[in-house]
Structure 1
Amino acid sequence: MPSSLPSLGFVGIGLMGLPMCRRLLAAGHPLHVWNRSPDKCSELQALGAVIEHTPAALCAEVDLVMLCLADTAAVRSVVFDADGIAERAKPGQLLVDFSSLEPAATREMAAALESRTGMRWVDAPVSGGTPGAEAGTLAIMAGGREEDIERIRPILAHLGQRLTRMGDVGAGQVTKVCNQMLVACNALVIAEVVALAERAGVDAALLAPALAGGFADSKPLQILAPQMADSQFEPIKWHVRTLLKDLDTAVKLAREQGGATPMSGLAAQLMRLHGSQGYLEQDPATLVRLFREASQ
């Protein structure tokens, strides 16, 4: 029997996209997928997803298109290049972008897509990492028309514990920038703390349980501190390059708004230094090496 649920298209089957797609399939949604490396779609195909050959072909088959891509350039390419989503988009469709992008670029692309095709855009970046994607407990911060966000709320309930409309298109991306400023700066301080505890002769593996529930506690502390203390850098759950990209976006956004982000600016410099030493594709838990090596 054909499903009565909206048909979904998902572009970007990476660390986050794969578990998100699994949950959408488990909820019974017909799912069409596309990824630049098609082999990453094979697991989803075995679960019932249909692999499409281009983003345009995917868009032609679905009610709603979702993106989870690396950066602004990747989203722009998938939407507007030859065989992109804009070629087959139509009024009544929605594009929901889970990627973390520059807010101004998001607003510009959303306006161009709607003007050209009638397809509307919701920016809905997420926080919670791969564990949140697997458990369906992501925090989703959305920008777009209120009616569009309410339309997708039942679908996104399979992916997240919370969906908050932050304002018009672009507001979700601004909120994600704020999220990433907190996460990245926290990750760097945790690395600094673990390295300091080790140098001072304290068992750094005890830091997270010792501080649990106190004023310094946080999810990053509970996740990263044990990994850093044990030098457990795999499996890779997220990437240093992602935090660096988002910190650069934060600094750029602050400059555009006439403000300053000195803490995030310093964090970007430290993250860039770490990345330049071969860690861009590694887990942020490796940041502890930046401070361990600095003390040698």
Structure 2
Amino acid sequence: MSDTNLPRVAFLGLGRMGAPMARHVLAAGYDLAVWNRTRDKAEPLGRDGAQVADTPARAAAGRQVVVLMLATPDAVGEVLFDPDHGVVATAEPGTLVIDSSTIGPTASREIAAQLGGHDLHYVDAPVYGSVAPATEGTLRVFAGGDPADFERARPLLGLWGDPDKVDLVGPVGTGSAAKLVVNLTLGTSIAAIGEALRLGRVLDLEQSLVDSLIEASPLGAAFPPIRAIMDSGKPQPANFELGLLRKDLDLCLAEAGDLALTAAAREACQRAMAAGHGSDDARALAVLMAGLL
């Protein structure tokens, strides 16, 4: 049963990350409405007590907080601003929008300005971590926004994020900026490991030796999930899809332009996607680059 002292919440976007995040909201006693473009992903939450809405507008009606966990800036824009079915069609003045999507700081600032024109508040609060920490409620959260809006958002952010790692890093857009910095290091480190593996093969080193060298290198902490893919000989279930990594590297390049390593990693992603690996786990990129998959 929901707690009537808590704000009523809508959660929009129930993919691999969004579904476990929304489940924390439901488990904490919030009155929760959910929406997903593919309705069947919302049904498990509906069976457990959430209200399943047909449109973002219906999910947002009468809610004090709307949470977004979507894939791209375009998806966020459509869900918020579609004149008939978007959040702004029904959201009451003063509603807080928490955007946990990774869309970049420029899009976050533009969206905040548009929402402000409708008397709606906005916090960009992307998360760092994969499905397991989302399920455990131990994600890291980078938030950007007005401090008062952040304090409104904090109780929810602390449901899917480790409360000690839920940080207001600055005004609107800075949360999204921080997430891009983190994902740039992820993409370039995966590509660097791929090239190291390939170099070891070209130089005819034993694979076990190459593996031990990478494990002892500055990139050693990033190697275990790549090693698991190598050992299995096939892509593992995707915690973070290669196509989403490419999208995030695109955002980095759009924001900063002259990022040579990022551009190279982005092109490696694009080649892997053209070969049909866009839905594989992003770490499979290293194994593909090395010719080991």
Whether the TM-score (by the shorter chain) exceeds 0.5 is: yes
Q: Secondary structure at the match of 1:246?
A: helix
Q: Secondary structure at the match of 2:33?
A: strand
Q: Residues 205-244 of structure 1: matches in 2 within 5 Å?
A: 207=212, 211=216, 215-218=218-221, 220-244=222-246
CA distance in 2, matches of 1:225, 1:178: 24
- Structure 1: which 5+ runs fail to align? none
Q: Residues 13-162 of structure 1: matches in 2 within 5 Å?
A: 13-81=14-82, 82-115=84-117, 117-161=118-162, 162=165
1:11 aligns with 2:12: yes
- C-alpha contact 1:9 1:62 (8 A) present in aligned 2: yes
CA distance in 1, matches of 2:255, 2:209: 36
How big is the shift at 1:76?
0.4
- C-alpha contact 1:232 1:285 (8 A) present in aligned 2: no
Corresponding residue number in structure 2 for 1:247: 249
- C-alpha contact 2:102 2:126 (8 A) present in aligned 1: yes
User: How many percent identity over aligned positions?
Assistant: 32
CA distance in 1, matches of 2:151, 2:212: 42
- Deviant stretches of 4+, over 6 Å: none
- C-alpha contact 1:35 1:41 (8 A) present in aligned 2: yes
- Taking structure 1 as the reference length, what is the TM-score of the superposition? 0.89
Look up the equivalent residue of 2:188 and give its one-letter code: C
Q: Per-residue displacement from partner, 1:159-214 (whole Å, max 9, x unpaired)?
A: 11111112111111111111110011111223333455565223379649954xx7
**Superposition CA RMSD, Å:** 2.3
Corresponding residue number in structure 1 for 2:205: 200
- Taking structure 2 as the reference length, what is the TM-score of the superposition? 0.90
- C-alpha contact 2:31 2:50 (8 A) present in aligned 1: yes
- C-alpha contact 2:243 2:279 (8 A) present in aligned 1: yes
CA distance in 2, matches of 1:207, 1:235: 25
- C-alpha contact 1:208 1:221 (8 A) present in aligned 2: no
Look up the equivalent residue of 1:177 and give its one-letter code: L
Q: Secondary structure at the match of 1:36?
A: coil
CA distance in 2, matches of 1:274, 1:216: 22
Q: Secondary structure at the match of 1:203?
A: helix
CA distance in 2, matches of 1:127, 1:87: 31
1:173 aligns with 2:176: yes
CA distance in 1, matches of 2:58, 2:209: 52
Q: Per-residue displacement from partner, 1:212-261 (whole Å, max 9, x unpaired)?
A: xx74432x323333223433423221211111111111111113xxxx21
Q: Secondary structure at the match of 1:28?
A: coil
Matched residues, number? 287
CA distance in 2, matches of 1:205, 1:47: 49
Look up the equivalent residue of 1:272 and give its one-letter code: Q
Look up the equivalent residue of 1:166 and give its one-letter code: V
Distance change >3 Å, CA 79–CA 201, structure 1 → 2: same
Corresponding residue number in structure 2 for 1:274: 272
